[in-house]
Structure 1
Amino acid sequence: MRVLAVMANYDALGLLPRHVKDQIDDLVGFCDRVVVVSTTEYADERDAEWIRERAELVRRVNIGYDFYGWKTGLDHVGSEVLDYDYVITCNDSYVGPLRPLADIFAEMEDRPLDAWGFNYSLRRSPHIQSFFIAYRPWVVRSRAFHDFWATMEPISDRSQVIARYEIGLSASLRAAGFRLGAVLEENAGDRRIAKLRHWRWAYLRARAEKPGRRLRSFRRFASEPWNPNTALADRALPQGRLPVVKLDTLRYDPYRLGSEGLLRACETRWPERFDEVRSDLEARAEHYRPRRGELTSASPPSWITRRTLGYAK
């Protein structure tokens, strides 16, 4: 099996954090070719050289978010993209994978999917979260895949990028008849836990509205789907069903799982992979301000976390 990976890289401090190096090493160990497309202005060019010793480094200006980086990387590879059994697009926004990529791909080979990621979200519209997507060769050869990247423009508004490209990519592939899915599959217990957490999130969000709008806002927020990647991070990690930890889950803790406990548990279970994650988050905190509509303080009540955070003690 021949695999190509195109990875988008950016760091606000101009550094190459350890978890990103680990991620690149994982890709290099599994893939036949790795292209790192970076908008980082490295404070130390030895970091750029570190990448060049292992992969192909393509530098670009910081426009268009990760999607324009993946377009740049795919254009760099050119027609040779058709020579691979899998094409991966990913970024550096997570720690992991915490299981070998070879094992993950072996498991996904048995599932009838044409493209898959680590997480499939129903928020806004059903889509594979773009931080990691693996495409089968017939998807890469399709008109839908070609047209999506060929017509892409460098949009620098995050909400527009999500709507037009992250959600738009999955919509285009589904419209072409392709089957999409993810490594993380929710079971009945997951859904019960996620629903409780989501209702609590909706209540706390609605409480911030004007008194006359709170009930209507709660109903609207509560009716929205949840994102399994953030709502179930602590529940799915111990069994390896979710083999990554998104940095935003630790930064923002949108469902108030108790990100400090989650990070401590990860540091205990995977000490090498999380060795510098805490200091990296602290050093970059000023560059990642709270987002509108998100809850950021971690204060989970025991009735929500009693059975899922036990491993974090």
Structure 2
Amino acid sequence: MRALVFAHFDAHGQVDDYVLHALRCFRPYFDLICFSSTAALNTEQHNRASLYADIIVIRPNIGYDFFSWREGFEALPNAAFDEIVFINDSCYTPLFDIRKFWERVDALGADLWGAAINYQFRPHVQSFCMGFGRRLVSSGFAKRFWRSLEIEPDKFNLILRFEVGLSARVEDEGFRIGAVVDLSDLDNSTRQRAYKDNEPFPSSAASATVARGEKPANLQIMSDPFPNPSQLFWAESLRRGSPFLKVELLRDNPLDANLANVRHYFTREKWYDVGLINRHLERVAPKAKWFSQAFTFAE
């Protein structure tokens, strides 16, 4: 049996359409879904979540997603789950048929698996999508980990302690981590391909990057020894089988990736309804770079 704990937050108290799309696509792959939210959901929004979630947990907005996952984990019934998966709403997903993703996950044979491994600080499974496999659950590791969490108000320290720290604890106890996207084999040809994915284009944003003295995305790709797969390597991640695209990439684009090529991806593939992205960003971040660079798409 497989359970999903989905962490949710929305400043407007909404269960957004892109979230419902994700839950609808995940539903066939889970025996139970727990929706753990720090948003003030009214009856209508609660009912929206109930379309696909078996359990809904509403909790105070403290502790970030890790405490939403902890509360969701504690709310699971005493069933013998073989696997417990933790996902949050920080991504638009799935961008393609998720069946292929689960096939790749099953082939990993990892105890702690994820959509991507990040090599910053130390190799660790990125927390936006991570699964605790049978051995972590049956050994009691999962229960010990989630019950050991402490409130960490600083988000950077939280990542170090609980995201990076989780993978460290898993390996220290003799278990194995793995991910669908693992850029440990990053070579020059892969970097060149990512360079092309983020090829510079004429825009005020690109000019502003240079004016600020920051490294343009295409140069950073070639020099960063520990790239974050979900940022500059978004297209490589999709090619390798991760169906997740970070909301942050389109909302903030912190590394000035070329969002024009994100548009080309949606235009070419046509599987994901880009209107879900447009409507979400129009509501939560109307000045997002996705719009300021005139990349709002026809729906």
TM-score (norm 2): 0.80
SS at match of 2:12: coil
Question: What's the CA shift for 1:78?
Answer: 5.2
Question: What's the CA shift for 1:272?
Answer: 4.6
Q: Measure the CA separation in 1 of the matches of 2:213 and 2:77.
A: 50
- Tell me the residue number matched to 1:74: 73
CA gap of 1:185–1:125, structure 2 versus 1, over 3 A, is closer
SS at match of 2:275: coil
- Tell me the residue number matched to 2:149: 152
Where do 1:26-105 residues align within 5 Å? 26-42=25-41, 44-55=42-53, 56-77=55-76, 79-80=78-79, 83-105=80-102
Q: Measure the CA separation in 2 of the matches of 1:72 and 1:178.
A: 24
8 Å CA contact retained: 1:119, 1:183:
yes
Question: What's the CA shift for 1:103?
Answer: 3.0
Matched pairs, number? 275
Question: What's the CA shift for 1:98?
Answer: 2.5
- Tell me the residue number matched to 1:15: 14
Q: Percent identity?
A: 26
Question: What's the CA shift for 1:207?
Answer: 6.3
- Tell me the residue number matched to 2:276: 276
- Tell me the residue number matched to 2:234: 233
Residue by residue over 1:274-310, the C-alpha shift from the partner in whole angstroms, topping out at 9 and shown as x without a partner, is 222123113212799x9xxxxxx97xxxxxxxxxxxx
Q: Measure the CA separation in 1 of the matches of 2:66 and 2:106.
A: 26
Structure 2 residues without counterparts, runs of 5 or longer = 201-205, 294-299
Question: What's the CA shift for 1:175?
Answer: 1.0
Higher mean C-alpha deviation, range 107-116 or range 33-42: 107-116
- Tell me the residue number matched to 1:4: 3
Q: Measure the CA separation in 2 of the matches of 1:190 and 1:95.
A: 24
Q: Measure the CA separation in 2 of the matches of 1:181 and 1:60.
A: 31
Q: What amino acid sits opposite 2:241 in the alignment?
A: R
Question: What's the CA shift for 1:161?
Answer: 1.3
Higher mean C-alpha deviation, range 51-60 or range 67-76: 51-60
CA gap of 1:196–1:89, structure 2 versus 1, over 3 A, is same
- Tell me the residue number matched to 1:310: none
Q: What amino acid sits opposite 1:159 in the alignment?
A: F
SS at match of 1:231: coil
8 Å CA contact retained: 2:2, 2:32:
yes
Residue by residue over 1:77-122, the C-alpha shift from the partner in whole angstroms, topping out at 9 and shown as x without a partner, is 1543xx1222101101111122333332223222232221111101
8 Å CA contact retained: 1:116, 1:181:
yes
Question: What's the CA shift for 1:262?
Answer: 0.8
Question: What's the CA shift for 1:156?
Answer: 2.7
8 Å CA contact retained: 1:12, 1:287:
no
CA gap of 1:245–1:106, structure 2 versus 1, over 3 A, is same
- Tell me the residue number matched to 2:258: 258
- Tell me the residue number matched to 2:203: none
CA gap of 1:287–1:192, structure 2 versus 1, over 3 A, is closer
8 Å CA contact retained: 1:194, 1:226:
no
Q: Measure the CA separation in 2 of the matches of 1:110 and 1:246.
A: 24
Question: What's the CA shift for 1:132?
Answer: 0.5
Question: What's the CA shift for 1:154?
Answer: 2.3
Residue by residue over 1:187-238, the C-alpha shift from the partner in whole angstroms, topping out at 9 and shown as x without a partner, is 533244558999x99xx699649xxxx9xxx99xx5651112212112443x
SS at match of 1:110: helix
